[in-house]
Amino acid sequence: MQIVDFDAQFSHYMTEWASLNAKAFHNVDEMEVAMPDVYMRWLNTPADWLGGVAPGLFFAPYDDAGVLVAWMREYLDSGVSVPDPLLERIVELGEGACLPLTGVLMGQERAELQMMAMSLLTEIDINPPLEAYLRLIHIHDGEGELAVRASEALRSVGAGALPACLDEMEGASAAVRLCLMDMLADFPGEDAVRAHARALLREGCAPAVMAAYIARMDDTEALDDLYAAAKDPSLDYLAYVEITGAIEALGGEPPEAREFAGDPAYESLRGMTLE
């Protein structure tokens, strides 16, 4: 497969264009405003370095999404930026591109390729591969950029992903459940979602985050758990403030004041107050 640096070619084109047209603009900002038009002109102008084919049309004859996805992989392996027209052609193939893109997520691929595949699947927006997203979160134990991106992909699916996410919560590690809560919190009226948030709070998992979710869900049944969390001796000052705020938002009485001398955030804020 031919690996051509489209970005480098456009950079060269833009440099020449700027040199020829500099006098037509008062400043750099005006030139930047013109960039989208310059880019479109470049995309649609036949190029010698592509055998007379316009950059925007180079990938148009290819209808096999598997070939295009493999081409995308070769670009990444070669260290050359993946051309936008290649990515746009994959999206144009729609449902036909879902299988090879999902294969990228299910395989042992480099993280950059998997993140690119997720972005393309989100753009295509057809039959989202929930199993693949959940697998990535599970493999990375809910941590790292891939897990976060997979969680964001699930959020973009919305209610259609809710049953699968709730099933995944059962028996999963605290880190995986915390990652999935980012999506589940979009459904505050679900009893199961509220129960999972309370369980994570009781386990001491990201208490400040859980308190914020619980307040957002208006879950008054969680007040006892919030009061218990506020007494945790390992709690830091900022988490205590978040928990206290959640209690008050749910109509509860503020918990008993605690001493946080020595806590970096507390000392910093106290110093600002004293000034």
Q: Which residues contact 33 (CB under 8 A, 6 or more apart)?
A: none
- pTM here is 0.81
Query: Quick one: average pLDDT of 95-105?
Result: 95
pLDDT in tens, 22-70: 777 767 777 778 788 989 999 999 999 999 999 999 999 999 999 999 9
**3-class DSSP state of 159:** helix
Of 227, 269, 270, 217, nearest to 247 by C-alpha is: 227
3-state secondary structure 41-94: HHHCCCEHHHCCECHHHCCCCCCCHHHHHHHHHHHHHHCCCCCHHHHHHHHHCH
pLDDT in tens, 17-26: 878 877 777 6
The mean of the pLDDT values for the chain is 91
Q: Both tokens of residue 14?
A: 């833009």
Q: How confident is the model at residue 97 (pLDDT cuts 50, 70, 90)?
A: very high
Q: Both tokens of residue 80?
A: 């050359």
Provide the pLDDT for residue 261: 81
Q: How confident is the model at residue 273 (pLDDT cuts 50, 70, 90)?
A: low
Task: Find how far residue 38's CA is from the centre of its chain.
Answer: 30
Of 184, 189, 149, nearest to 164 by C-alpha is: 184
What are the φ and ψ backbone dihedral angles of 253, each rounded to 5 degrees?
-75, 145
Q: Please name the residue ranges forming H helices in 93-251.
A: 98-106, 111-124, 130-139, 145-157, 162-169, 174-184, 191-202, 207-217, 223-230, 237-249
Q: Both tokens of residue 257?
A: 């004041």
Amino acid at 187: F
Buried b (16+ CB within 10 A) or exposed e, 231-264: eeeebebebbbbbbbbbeebebeebeeeebeebe
Query: Residues, the chain, total?
Result: 275
pLDDT of 91 over the 90 cut: yes
pLDDT in tens, 153-202: 999 899 999 999 999 999 999 999 999 999 999 999 999 999 999 999 99
Query: Quick one: average pLDDT of 104-121?
Result: 94
